[in-house]
């Protein structure tokens, strides 16, 4: 039983160190980004030598990192992974070690404590995914309707051209 607690403590320390490293990396990146924006330009670049800027689409590389991105990668993702990993660990060790079954209430309480926020995060992620799928479905419905309308208009135009050609042919025959 003590060896499992030691393993859990080691995992907790490793996760804490990884969180600190990730947080410091994000802070350094933000500081660099902020300093780069505020740094005054000492030499004026002539207009002829400047490169033309092309407009970027929203999904391109130049899109900035938001607070929600940081929140997801620093808190949400590790929390969900920790919850799933710990639950799997408890199930695995519970099947192989009877000492875990004696303290199962403590383990299930910890799983429940981690599971509350983790389930909310998973639910929000699924809601975002559902919204993206609904937007794709709406886009494809509009696109399909546009194709149907285009084909209908092309068919009507072909019929009109054929009708005008027949009328012209009929006029030519009656003039003879």
Q: Count Cβ neighbours within 10 Å for each residue of 4-28 and write b for 16 or more, e otherwise.
A: beeeeeeeeeeeeeeeeeeeeeeee
For all residues of the chain together, what is the average pLDDT? 78
Quote the distance between the C-alpha of residue 23 and its chain's center: 21
130-173 pLDDT tens trace? 888 888 899 999 999 999 999 999 999 999 999 999 999 999 88
Q: What is the pLDDT of residue 57?
A: 47
46-84 pLDDT tens trace? 555 555 555 454 454 555 676 766 777 777 778 888 888
User: Interhelix angle for 77-96 vs 104-175, to 10°?
Assistant: 130
The domain segmentation of the chain, as residue ranges, is: 2-28+66-175
Q: What is the pLDDT of residue 138?
A: 93
User: Contact, 108 vs 89, CB < 8 A?
Assistant: no
Helix (H) or strand (E) holding 147: helix 104-175
Q: Report the SS3 class of residue 42.
A: coil
């Amino acid at each position: 039983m003590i060896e499992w607690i030691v393993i859990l403590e080691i995992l907790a320390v490793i996760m804490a160190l990884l969180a600190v490293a990730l947080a410091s990396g994000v802070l350094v990146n933000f500081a660099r980004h902020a300093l780069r924006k505020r740094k005054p330009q000492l030499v004026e670049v002539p207009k002829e030598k400047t490169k033309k800027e092309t407009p970027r689409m929203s999904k391109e590389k130049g899109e900035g990192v938001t607070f929600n991105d940081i929140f997801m990668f620093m808190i949400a993702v590790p929390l969900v992974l920790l919850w799933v990993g710990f639950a799997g660990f408890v199930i695995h060790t519970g099947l192989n070690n009877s000492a875990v079954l004696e303290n199962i209430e403590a383990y299930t309480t910890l799983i429940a404590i981690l599971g509350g926020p983790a389930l909310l995060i998973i639910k929000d992620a699924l809601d975002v995914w559902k919204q993206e799928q609904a937007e794709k479905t709406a886009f494809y419905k509009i696109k399909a309707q546009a194709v149907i309308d285009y084909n209908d208009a092309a068919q009507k135009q072909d019929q009109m051209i054929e009708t005008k050609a027949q009328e012209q042919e009929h006029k030519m025959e009656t003039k003879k």
